[in-house]
């Protein structure tokens, strides 16, 4: 199987996200920009502890950057989110969270609350993920960089009744699922290779067309120094109407002081190309957070 990484898509992502390079005029008041860098640590230790326990050391970092452009009826939003964490509980370093997310969206206002929008969304991870066995030889690779990766292109209508809440309805959305690492294709009990993340054996790309995609975003300070971000995505495959994909990303961040905060991340996912069960990933962190 040949690896065909979509380098053209990476170039599009790079140039799309650079709002500073796109706006060549001296007047940058149409841009609203913010970025965050954070690092969280955790540690658990036991010595002669009769009740038992496991020593553990954890570390994760995050970088978020957002640029919003608004002028007359035109809007443009770029959102980049990077997060990676590792945990060592005596069995070796293993990742605890791994996320690479990018979204760019251009809109033209039709009324006070409605706009026509078009955009691109890209999601993958940085490093390989495993199902761990008793020894390293028994580890099973389940994922990797670009395995999977999801690229979604859409045109639709956005309803934004509040500055902190919006819903985008996109009929005919296109999505590509990429699996560039052949080692994530697993054999069943009879020794036959099975599809990975909906990509058939022998291929590294699967195209999908949505009858409808709905993306809802909520981003608001729900109390003093406490921010809640929610992103819900519904993807109704035109060829599998009875099986819709659902994903909810939630982040609750509480600011302790200028440089320290507590964060809680939760992902809920239902995708029947991966599992018929609801998948869950969560992460709680306490540490440094710098906003600029």
β-strand partners of 38: 62, 289
Nearest to 157 by CA among 119, 115, 210, 209: 115
Quickly tell me which residue has 């054996």 as its tokens: 201
Mean pLDDT of 52-57: 75
Bigger pLDDT: 10 or 291? 291
Question: What percent of the chain lies above the pLDDT cut of 90?
Answer: 64
Least confident of 25-29, 119-123, 162-166: 25-29
In the predicted structure, residue 25 carries a pLDDT above the cut 70:
no
In the predicted structure, residue 9 carries a pLDDT above the cut 70:
no
Question: What percent of the chain lies above the pLDDT cut of 70?
Answer: 88
CA 260-263-265 angle, 5° bins:
160
Give the C-alpha separation, 146 to 38, whole Å. 25
β-strand partners of 20: none
Q: How many CB atoms lie within 10 A of CB 7?
A: 8
**pLDDT tens string 199-258:** 999 999 999 999 999 999 999 999 999 999 999 999 999 988 877 899 999 999 998 888
Mean pLDDT of 101-117: 97
**pLDDT tens string 187-203:** 998 999 999 999 999 99
Mean residue pLDDT across the chain: 88
Q: Where are the domains of the chain?
A: 7-19+34-42+56-291
Q: 185 and 201 in contact (C-beta within 8 Å)?
A: yes
Give the C-alpha separation, 201 to 40, whole Å. 39
Query: The dihedral of CA 88, 93, 95, 100: what is its sign?
Result: positive
Least confident of 20-24, 111-115, 278-282: 20-24
60 burial via Cβ count (<10 Å: 0-12, 13-18, 19+)? buried
**pLDDT tens string 142-186:** 999 999 999 999 999 999 999 999 999 999 999 999 999 999 999
Q: Domain 7-19+34-42+56-291 has what CATH class?
A: mainly beta
Q: With bands split at pLDDT 50, 70 and 90, how would you rate the model's confidence at 30?
A: very high
β-strand partners of 212: 236
pLDDT on residue 26: 55
**pLDDT tens string 39-54:** 988 777 777 676 666 7
Mean pLDDT of 138-145: 94
pLDDT on residue 2: 46
pLDDT on residue 1: 46
């Amino acid at each position: 199987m040949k690896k065909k990484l979509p380098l053209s898509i990476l170039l599009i992502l790079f140039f799309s996200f650079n709002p500073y390079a796109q706006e060549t005029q001296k007047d940058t008041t149409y841009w609203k920009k913010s970025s965050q860098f954070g690092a969280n640590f955790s540690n658990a230790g036991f010595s002669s502890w009769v009740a038992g326990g496991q020593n553990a050391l954890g570390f994760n970092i995050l970088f978020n950057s957002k640029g919003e452009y608004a002028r007359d009826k035109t809007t443009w939003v770029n959102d980049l989110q990077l997060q990676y964490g590792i945990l060592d509980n005596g069995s070796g370093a293993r990742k605890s969270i791994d996320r690479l997310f990018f979204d760019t969206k251009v809109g033209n206002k039709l009324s006070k609350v409605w706009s026509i929008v078009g955009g691109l969304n890209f999601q993958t991870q940085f490093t390989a993920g495993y199902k761990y066995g008793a020894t390293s030889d028994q580890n099973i690779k389940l994922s990797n960089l670009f395995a999977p990766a999801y690229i979604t292109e859409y045109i639709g209508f956005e309803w934004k009744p509040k500055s902190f809440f919006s819903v985008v309805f996109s009929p005919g959305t296109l999505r590509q699922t990429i699996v560039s690492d052949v080692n994530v294709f697993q054999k069943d009990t009879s020794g036959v290779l099975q599809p990975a993340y909906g990509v058939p054996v022998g291929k590294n790309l699967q195209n999908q067309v949505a009858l409808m995609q709905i993306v809802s975003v909520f981003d608001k300070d729900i109390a003093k120094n406490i921010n809640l971000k929610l992103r819900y995505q519904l993807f109704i495959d035109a060829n599998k109407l009875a099986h819709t994909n659902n994903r909810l990303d939630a982040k609750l961040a509480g600011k302790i002081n200028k440089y320290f905060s507590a964060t809680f991340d939760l992902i809920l996912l239902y995708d029947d190309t991966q599992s018929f069960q609801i998948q869950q990933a969560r992460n709680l962190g306490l540490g440094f957070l710098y906003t600029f």
